[in-house]
Amino acid sequence: MTHDIDPALIEAPSALQTHLGYRLTGWGTDFARVELPLAPFLTNRQGLPHGGIHATLLDTAMGFAGCYTGDPERSQMALTLSLTVNYLGQAQGATLIAEARRTGGGKSTYFAEATVRDDTGTLIATGTGVFRYRRGTPASDHKSHS
């Protein structure tokens, strides 16, 4: 199964997305992938990608993973209720890649998990989150998956 993005579903980038330079590179039912080329302005005092960058990628990918509708006329949004990040390694490559999966939930909330790896395959961080669907968007289309 491929998770390429239907061009009709591509949204205008948010201000944060434009500033940091990440992009959504895969999106489908219960799945999202976000990629970020590393740049000096993303690093901490040690010259490593700042932990907040990993958290942002995990949060963004998990947010998208639970909000896929497949219909450009029916955009779904969510708010993060809880985010847990585990930092496991240091990036060796030039790009960070977050992949997320919606793991469960119901009409108003959902659960997701994600990883951040670099383009060499090194596991950098993992995360889990709880998200609430925004009112006024088609949350009723999201049913619990077994």
Taking only the tens place, the pLDDT of each residue in 74-119 is 999 999 999 999 999 999 999 999 999 999 999 999 999 999 999 9
Residue 18 token pair: 């434009």
Q: Give the side-chain half-sphere CA count within 13 A for 118.
A: 16
Domain 7-138 has CATH 3.10.129.10: yes
Instruction: Map out the domains of the chain as residue ranges.
Output: 7-138
Whether 145 shows a pLDDT value over 70: the answer reads: no
pTM of model > 0.75: yes
